[in-house]
Each structure stands twice: as structure tokens, then as C-alpha cells.
Amino acid sequence: MSTKTPADFYFDPVSPFAFLMWKRLREDDFGLEIRPVPVLLGALLNHWGLIGPAEVPPKRAQTYRMCQWLAERNGIALRFPNTHPFRSVDALRLLIALDARADAVDALFEAVFAEGRDLTDSAELERLGAELGLSDVQNSIANAGVKDGLRTNTEAAIARGVFGVPTLAIGGELFWGLDTLDMVRDYLADPKLFQTAEMQRLGTLDYGVSRRTGS
């Protein structure tokens, strides 16, 4: 019987931060039993009225530079695909068809961010599926059950309060982003981390101004 703490890892393979966080979780001992949960980032952003960092031109270059620096600093091979962001829905459906196995997540992330492969190319996606033991990828990802699986994952993530990727869910707590991993360690060491008076006060702060309404 596993003594590790269960955790859901919400991700979309379009996210380089998700790739980096996944690599850290796979290589470091956080004492977590990770369940990969593929979700469609675009649907999360649409639901919460957000835009992705790559949709802000000057932020796009800063984001890519930060990811490259983080990868090199942590000894992780990173090579962005020639086109980014890219349409990730077929890659996500491939993962659903493969039951989001950890080895499939490894292989898909490596294909995108270590090898720079174009998974919007159906032939390339077919090759990756074959490498993972799945024949006839196109029919598999067109399967209604596979499409429903991705939709269900995404809707359940939204219901849980997930607004972006990568997000790690441990019990009732959500940790969004690669830079929360130190906080994850502290939380696992002290599950009462967020129960202090000051932490509790953060959820009750008044909203002073709304940028969208100007009020």
C-alpha cells in the first residue's frame, strides 16, 4: 500500500511551465502519488475570462526566455517547437486515449519541448502514438468517449477552481505554477500552513477597484 500523498496534476502540453513542473515532479521526491489530468487550457481561460501569457506580445518573449533560463538552470533539455502556442487538443485527446499514463505524458512532453516536434501534424502525432503502442491514432482521438473524457476532465477542473496550468491539487488545496513547488514541500511538511490567522485573512480582503468596470 502506497504511503504517498495523492495529488492531481492538471496540465496542457502547450504549456512549457507544465513541462518543467512535470520534470521536477518526476525527478524529485515530493512524496506524492501523481495522477496526470489532461485539460484544455483554452477552455479554462475562456471560463475565467483570462488570456494566456503568449497572447500578450511583450510577455510572450519574456515567458519563453524565463522558461529557457529555468530549464538550463535546472539541467533540463528544452527546445521550443518552431510554432508556439499551438493547437493542443489532438495531443490532449491522444493522452486521454492512452489513459494519461505517466510514460505517455513523459513521451509527449519530450516530443514537444525536448525534441521540438510538431504535434499538430497528424503524421507526427501518428508516429508518437505508435511509439506508445497505439495504432490508428486519428480514429482513436476522434472517438466520442475520448472527446468526452477531455471535456469531463476540463469541466471537473473548473468546478474545482483550476484556472490555469500547471496546477497541482492536493486534497482541497490548489498550487498553480512551477514556482509553487517550494510551497508544496512546506505544505506537505505542515498541512496547517494555510490555517494561520494571516493566511485566513487573505481570503477576506476587500476588492478595492475593478479594472474592467472602473468602479
pLDDT at 2 over 80: no
Peptide bond into 6 cis (omega under 30): no
How confident is the prediction for the chain on average, in pLDDT?
95
Of 10, 7, 6, 5, whose CA–CA distance to 156 is shortest? Answer: 10
pLDDT at 124 over 70: yes
pLDDT for 210:
78
How far is residue 143's CA from residue 120's CA, in Å, rounded to a whole number? 18
Q: Residue 74 pLDDT > 60, yes or no? A: yes
| Distance from C-alpha of 74 to C-alpha of 178, rounded to nearest angstrom | 12
Q: What percent of the chain has pLDDT over 90?
A: 93
- Tell which CATH architecture fits domain 5-204: 3-Layer(aba) Sandwich (3.40)
Q: Could you give phi then psi for residue 197, rounded to 5 degrees?
A: -60, -40
CA angle, corner 35, sides to 29 and 36, nearest 5?
Answer: 105
- Calculate mean pLDDT across residues 1-22: 94
Which band of pLDDT confidence, cut at 50, 70 and 90, is reported for residue 209?
confident
* pLDDT for res 115: 96
pLDDT for position 213: 55
Does position 215 have pLDDT exceeding 70, yes or no?
A: no
The pLDDT of residue 140 is 97
Name residue, grid cell 503502442. 133
Report pLDDT digits (tens) over 92-102: 999 999 999 99
What integer pLDDT is reported at residue 1 of this predicted model? 61
Lowest mean pLDDT among 1-15, 29-43, 101-115: 1-15
Alpha helices per DSSP H over 28-143 = 41-48, 57-73, 89-97, 102-113, 122-131, 137-141
Q: Residue 176, CB half-sphere, CA atoms under 13 Å: how many?
A: 8
| % of the chain residues with pLDDT over 70 | 97
